[in-house]
Amino acid sequence: MEVDESKMRRASAKIRTIGHDAQAYLDREKAALDFGSQGNDGFGTMQALKSTVEKLHRAASRLASDSTETGDNITRAADNHRENERVQKQNIDANLRALTTLRTP
């Protein structure tokens, strides 16, 4: 099977950054919202907004963790593919050597 390991590794790196970028963005926005909303906790809209941002922030944290795991799995798959190819080549070479040593009557 043809597998482009370099493409897999690039995809892995991109997937890993997706969650972390989202989390970093929401970290900044949540901090700004927390600072800007000080003293406005009595407003129902502000409470709803803060609650929504907190839920989104938790979801982004899970996304960061999941994207890291997915990226790691793709990298591991590329490594395993490379190792499988190496072992298969060794086995084919060994079989070819064994065939050349056989004598035909």
Residue 104, pLDDT > 70, answer no
pLDDT, one tens digit per residue, over 29-46 is 888 877 777 777 677 777
Q: Rounded mean pLDDT of 8-25?
A: 90
For residue 32, being part of any structural domain is answered with yes
Task: State how many domains the chain has.
Answer: 1
Tokens of 54: 């907190």
For residue 82, being part of any structural domain is answered with no
For 10, the domain range is 5-76
For residue 89, being part of any structural domain is answered with no
Instruction: Give CA–CA dist 49/56, Å, rounded.
Output: 10
Tokens of 40: 């406005």
Positive or negative torsion for Cα 37, 38, 41, 42: negative
For residue 25, being part of any structural domain is answered with yes
For residue 60, being part of any structural domain is answered with yes
pTM listed for this prediction = 0.66
Alpha helices in 37-103 (DSSP H): 44-101
Instruction: Give CA–CA dist 76/83, Å, rounded.
Output: 10
Residue 87, pLDDT > 90, answer yes
- The percentage of residues in the chain with a pLDDT greater than 90, rounded to a whole number, is 40
On whether the CB atoms of residues 23 and 64 are closer than 8 A, the answer is yes
